[in-house]
Amino acid sequence: MKTQNLAKQLLYAVLCVLVATLIAGCTSANSISSLNPAAADPESELNIGSTETKTSGDPLPVVVIYATRNVVGPQAELNLRAEAIDPAGGQVNIAWEASDGDIISTEGSNAVWKAPNHTSTNLITCIATDVRGGQAKAEYSVDVVGNSTYRLTIYADRTSILTGRFSAEPGSPVVPISGARIELAAIGEVGVSDGSGMVEFNIDQAQALATSTLVTVKYLTWEVSYNASLLVGDGLRIMDELTFYPGYNEVSVAVARGDSFLLKRGMIEVTAVENSAGEVKPIAEVTVDAGASQAVSGSSDGRAILGSNITGNGETTIRLARNGYQTIEGYYVPVSIDGLTLVNARLSKAGTIPELDAVISWTRPYMNQTAFPVSGPFEIGFGQVMEKASIFNDINLMIQNKSGAGLIALNGPVIEQHFRIVWKSDTVLQLYPRQPLAASTRYSMTISRWNARAADGRMLKTYEGLYGEFTTDADPSPSIVSTSPKNGDTDVSRSGPFAIRFDRSMQPDSLYNDLEIEITSLDSGAKMVLDGTSLRSNFSVSWKENNTLLELVPYRMLRAGGSYLIRLNECNLVSESGKAVKDFANLWGQFKTGNM
């Protein structure tokens, strides 16, 4: 008899286990739709709470809680569903409780819980009661985390052909970009920038949670990506800013600033990718050069990060090379002391014929630019290397003084009679007016025809009717913006460079007119006086950044730990428009060299 009772008890226990297992695998189509898209996920994605039963002699109900998430933001609503069964076959009543927050609605076996407005860990309890008074309960733990956000604001440089007609503040060099697509891969969120260029994500209520994410930003032909940290205190905001620059064929360029880039300011991050079977994939082992820096792209993401030897803001050239691929080189990218330069370069296999037309990437002056220097230069940035010899063989360019002072139509090589032509690089063409423009005057410029070829033979895309207006500056006397070293500097490099930055383009050859520079060693009293000829014998002289930056590098290093006084006694340096530098004579400075 005892054996029979024991067998019955074992059989009953097995049946209870089977019933509980079946319940855990049950599904229901009666869930209340959530305000969060994750609630529509398949039930295989649901989380299951823990179950607790009271011990008694009678069979007790079995209850399980299902929910889509176990981490939510403040005031978020969470859909819950309970599955309960009485092994004896009777009816089961369900009741809900929460340690914090509110159960705001119940319907059948479903409930909606609203989270409190503060961070906390909360237990939601479902109590199942059978007709005999037996009870079982299931608990579900939910964490409420801070209502933190990630905000990105997107701009574009106004010189770009893609954004040249966008409206902006008259003095602003950038315009906000609306309609850009932003994806935060790790948390499964996608957004679009609004009219102010801004998009914001609630990272605590996203489809997934992560401490960092790959951010990809796309607008028309531009695309860049970067890694952003999502570690932020409750209720705080991560704020980043991205400014697109015109870029080149298959090369997108942007400067990123903000919380995600504090440790990478002044650096360049290059991502090398390719099209492979219709999919964009990273390329490893690409050698990347940026100025004097070099790095190799990684195997997992195709990224290479490089330092920059540029002091302050400026630009440098980049080069990407790998066996079996066409080399990308000769392109200028900006470098910012307060941001990270992002370059996304799509390489093509060697021997591949480009599918895209040759393009103009940017122009300067941009539409409605003010304070454009009367001496220029006008700049045209191409998206690829151009065939220089024939660049003006078939062009029609019209320039009009909007005050009614006349219209000039320039055809073909005649342009060179009115402009001094300079190729800043293989992709950047500069035109310096041989006669300065009128000061404080509004002009228009129209390209009615331009047939030119890229170096690889592609025809330039049609730009008939390309039109822009700009206003010249008052053409004041040029002034010095900064010097390096500054008066009183110590630990100055013995080999320079010694630099003077002006606020407008200068005439380089005028530097040597009636020049007299006096260099005195304060330690020995020795003195050297240089004129235009001896300056070139003792220093390498170079002009950069549209002839606004003068750099002098001594052929012989200065003495280590030496104190020097440099005095400019006389110089007739003038701007491109012929105006003398204000307060240039009697410029002086004292400094001390370092040991290197």
The enclosing domain of 552 has a CATH number of: 2.60.40.1220
> In terms of Cα–Cα distance, which of 242, 238, 195 is closest to 217?
242
Answer yes or no: do 491 and 556 share one domain.
yes
Tell me how far apart the alpha carbons of residues 428 and 506 are, in angstroms, rounded to a whole number. 19
| Residue 54 scores a pLDDT above 60 | no
**pLDDT-derived band at 49, boundaries 50, 70, 90:** low
Same domain assignment for residues 323 and 365: no
Choose one of 144, 178, 213: the last residue of a domain: 144
Quick one: 123 and 177 in the same domain? no
Helix (H) or strand (E) holding 14: helix 2-24
Structural domain total, the chain: 4
| Nearest C-alpha neighbor of 520 from the set 453, 568, 582 | 568
**Do 179 and 275 share a domain, yes or no?**
yes
Assess contact for 111 and 96: CB atoms under 8 A. Answer: yes
Q: Are 253 and 343 in contact (CB under 8 A)?
A: yes
Contact assessment for residue 484 and residue 311, using Cβ atoms and an 8 Å cutoff: yes
Q: How confident is the model at residue 42 (pLDDT cuts 50, 70, 90)?
A: very low
pLDDT for position 440: 92
Residue 15, pLDDT above cutoff 60: no
Residue ranges making up the domain that contains 574 = 480-592
Query: How far apart are alpha carbons 121 and 99 in whole angstroms?
Result: 9
Average pLDDT of the segment spanning 454-482: 89
Say whether both 408 and 365 belong to one domain: yes
Is residue 532 domain-shared with residue 560, that is, in the same domain? Answer: yes
Lowest mean pLDDT among 24-28, 160-164, 445-449: 24-28
Closest-CA residue to 78 (of 202, 205, 188): 205
User: What per-residue confidence (pLDDT) applies to 322?
Assistant: 97
Last residue of a domain, one of 298, 316, 346: 346
d(CA 266, CA 244): 16
| Two structure tokens written together for 24 | 């855990």
176: left (phi over 0), alpha (psi -120 to 50) or beta: beta
Give a yes or no: residue 563 inside a domain.
Answer: yes
445 bridge partner residues: 399, 468
Q: Does residue 402 have a pLDDT over 60?
A: yes
pLDDT number for residue 20: 41
Give the pLDDT band of residue 39 (cuts 50, 70, 90): very low
3-class secondary structure, 19: helix
Sequence-ordered list of residues with C-beta below 8 angstroms from that of 16, at least 6 positions apart, any chain: 59, 62, 87
pLDDT of 471-521, one tens digit each? 999 988 888 888 889 888 999 999 989 999 898 889 999 999 999 999 999
Residue 388: the pLDDT is 94
Region 531-560: mean pLDDT is 92
pLDDT of residue 173: 87
Peptide bond into 170 cis (omega under 30): no
Whether residue 116 is preceded by a cis peptide bond, meaning omega within 30 degrees of 0, is: no
Beta strands in 131-259 (DSSP E): 135-144, 149-157, 174-176, 181-184, 189-192, 198-202, 212-219, 222-229, 237-248, 251-258
pLDDT band at 103 (very low <50, low <70, confident <90, very high): very high
Copy the structure tokens of residue 351: 């021997």
Position 229, amino acid: S
Least-confidence region, from 100-104, 275-279, 468-472, 549-553:
275-279
In a shared domain, residues 402 and 288: no
Within a domain: residue 354?
no
Are both 199 and 89 inside the same structural domain?
no
Is residue 213, in this structure, part of any structural domain at all? yes
Q: What percent of the chain has pLDDT over 90?
A: 60
- Tens of pLDDT, residue by residue over 406-423, are 788 888 888 999 999 999
Q: What pLDDT is attached to residue 235? A: 65
pLDDT band at 57 (very low <50, low <70, confident <90, very high): low
Residue 8 scores a pLDDT above 80:
no
Q: Measured between alpha carbons, how far is 216 from 200 in angstroms, rounded to an integer?
A: 14
Q: How many residues does the chain have?
A: 596
Round the average pLDDT of the chain to a whole number and report it.
86
Mean pLDDT along residues 350-377 = 89
Contacts of residue 427, Cβ cutoff 8 Å, sequence gap at least 6: 248, 330, 331, 332, 361, 381, 382, 383, 384, 385, 386
Average pLDDT over residues 21-36: 33
* pTM score of the predicted model: 0.68
Answer whether residue 236 is part of any domain.
Answer: yes
Side-by-side strand order, sheet with 563-570: 527-530, 516-521, 563-570, 587-592
Whether 244 shows a pLDDT value over 50: the answer reads: yes
Across residues 363-379, what is the average pLDDT? 91
List pLDDT tens digits, range 307-360.
887 767 888 999 999 999 999 998 999 999 999 999 999 999 998 888 788 999
Whether residue 334 is found in the same domain as residue 418: no
Residue 218: Cβ within 10 Å count: 14
State residue 135's pLDDT score. Answer: 92
- pLDDT-derived band at 101 (thresholds 50, 70, 90) equals very high
Pairing between β-strand 149-157 and β-strand 237-248 as defined by DSSP bridges: parallel
User: How are beta strands 587-592 and 328-335 bridged, if at all?
Assistant: unpaired
Question: Whole-angstrom Cα distance, residue 105 to residue 98?
Answer: 12
Could you tell me if 563 and 433 lie in one domain?
Answer: no
User: pLDDT tens-digit profile of 108-120?
Assistant: 899 999 999 887 8
Cα dihedral sign for 189, 190, 194, 196?
positive
In this structure, is residue 290 part of a structural domain? yes
3-state secondary structure 247-288: EECCEEEEEEEEHHHHHHCCCEEEEEEEEECCEEEECCCCEE
Using one digit for the tens of pLDDT, what is the confidence trace for 212-238? 999 999 999 999 999 998 887 766 789
In a domain? residue 353: no
167 and 313 inside one domain? yes
pLDDT of the residue at 209: 77
Strand 498-502 and strand 303-306: the pairing is unpaired
Instruction: Report whether pLDDT(30) > 80.
Output: no
Q: What type of residue sits at position 425?
A: S
Question: Per-residue pLDDT for 554 more than 90?
Answer: yes
Residues 261 and 375: beta-carbon distance below 8 Å: no
The answer to the question of residue 492 being in a domain is yes
The residue-averaged pLDDT of 69-91 equals 89
Structure tokens at 60: 């007790």
| DSSP-assigned letters across all residues of 340-366 | EEEEEEE--BTTPPP-SPB-EEEEESP
Is the domain of 138 the same as that of 156? no
Residues 6+ apart with CB under 8 A from 303: 269, 270, 271, 272, 282, 297
Q: What is the CATH number of the domain that holds 116?
A: 2.60.40.10
Q: How far apart are CA 61 and CA 347, in angstroms?
A: 64
**Where is the domain boundary, 295, 324, 346?**
346
Q: Report pLDDT for 231.
A: 82
